[in-house]
Amino acid sequence: MEILLLGTGSADGWPNPFCRCVSCRSATEVRGQTAALVDGVLLLDCGPEAPRAAARFGRSLASVRHILFTHGHWDHVGPAAMLMRHWTGTGEPLDVVGPPSALNQCRDWVGPDDPVRFVEVSPGDDVRVGDYRVRVLAAAHGADIGGDAVLYDLESVGGRIFWATDTGPLPEATHAAVAGAGFDAVFLEETFGMHTGHGTEHHDLPAFAATVDELRHSGAVVAATDVVAVHLSHHNPPEPELTAVLADSDARPGRDGEILGAVPIRSLILGGARSGKSAHAEALLAGQVAVTYLATGGTREGDPEWAERIRLHRSRRPHTWRTVETVDIADTLLTAETPLLLDCLGTWLTARMDLHRVWDDGGLDGVHADIDELVSAWRACPVRAVAVSNEVGSGVVPPAESGRLFRDLLGVLNARIAAESDEVVLMVAGRPLKLPAQ
């Protein structure tokens, strides 16, 4: 089961675009309204921001056959999506599942001949949509819409997840229903941080910890379960502090655009300067608690701008990630036991060219041998690995011979690593474009 998080924020997102609080000013991730795309065919909630989020993350919704709404609040139900779909003229069937507060908003947005099946559900229902078994669970939420909000226990041959947004501390009936489930992932809302006096049907951090503890006690959450906090708002502390608090529950904050489940083993992320390639690479590994970050840039004495770049990179990584500054990376790739992020191939190549004194006419044999060794290690790497590299071949031809040589060698290196990768993504203006295989 592959889950793409289209959004992990509250109704107003995080940061709130109208706010200048400390939490909003310090935010390094932009989070939209919480929703997810499962296996490319099933949407978990579909608020007004979800369709455009899918496009930003390079995903089409043309194959969606099921939409599961949790409740009728405006950030979870964007009925215009039904009209967008109608305008394509598709004749494919669509299941729209949810409580009355959600479905009643959608009915008028469906054409008279659209093959849409509305399935009203309530807690205790057990329905089948396509390849998925859907157990409908009670939420503590939505008194203003009739109190019919629900949560979903979603299962297929690819895994089992718990979609628990929006809700306050779970009703006893829900805890009983999921006992022993051993979920692969739990997406639990956490809106209010340390603001415990909010008086709403949402989780704050202490309530979140208590809910996770109870889920662990019942066997719904086990050691292998990925516990992801969603519906995050600016009521939370800045992300480094939030990450540390959630880690006490073996949980973590979700990130928009991250993918959980069936993901490639080796990914190459290409892009120009400030294209968002490093941030995208980090998001691909956001679901991993322990990651080895192979930083090949090193330090530059007397260069405050470079030092600030390094500081910003480090500040957005989870504190559980380990940073290793090295250009001798082949052995690390071969012996790794935790996921790796290599950033970046361009600075690695520069270091190898310096080592072999290429600029002093030391010849290229040593560099080509290093490239062969790196490509071989990348191919044999036994863990999830993401590499970042610069795309420098699309600009003006460098005026100096050294610049042209570096450009050409990096192009060769990128092509060889791409040939041994399961996916290659080109970042353009912060947007990922997945490149087709040869």
Annotated active-site positions, please?
A: 313
CA 119, CA 95: separation in Å to the nearest integer?
7
CA 151, CA 158: separation in Å to the nearest integer?
20
Token reading at 187: 């997406």
How many CB atoms lie under 10 A from the CB of residue 24? 18
202 within 8 A of 34, measured Cβ to Cβ: no
**Beta-sheet pairing, 159-164 with 94-98:** unpaired
Picking from 381, 269, 285, 367, the residue whose alpha carbon sits closest to that of residue 331 is 381
Q: Which residues of 391-426 are buried (b: 16+ CB within 10 A; e: fewer)?
A: bbeeeeeeeeeeeebbbebbeebbebbbebbebbbb
CA 264, CA 269: separation in Å to the nearest integer?
13
Picking from 394, 372, 387, the residue whose alpha carbon sits closest to that of residue 423 is 387
**How big is the CA angle at 409 (ends 403 and 412), to the nearest 5 degrees?**
145
- E-strand stretches of 10-56: 35-38, 42-44
How many CB atoms lie under 10 A from the CB of residue 336? 18
Angle between helices 345-355 and 401-419 (to 10 degrees): 120
SS3 120: strand
Picking from 224, 154, 229, the residue whose alpha carbon sits closest to that of residue 189 is 229
**How big is the CA angle at 217 (ends 215 and 219), to the nearest 5 degrees?**
70
**How big is the CA angle at 250 (ends 247 and 252), to the nearest 5 degrees?**
60
* Most distant CA atoms of the chain, gap in Å: 77
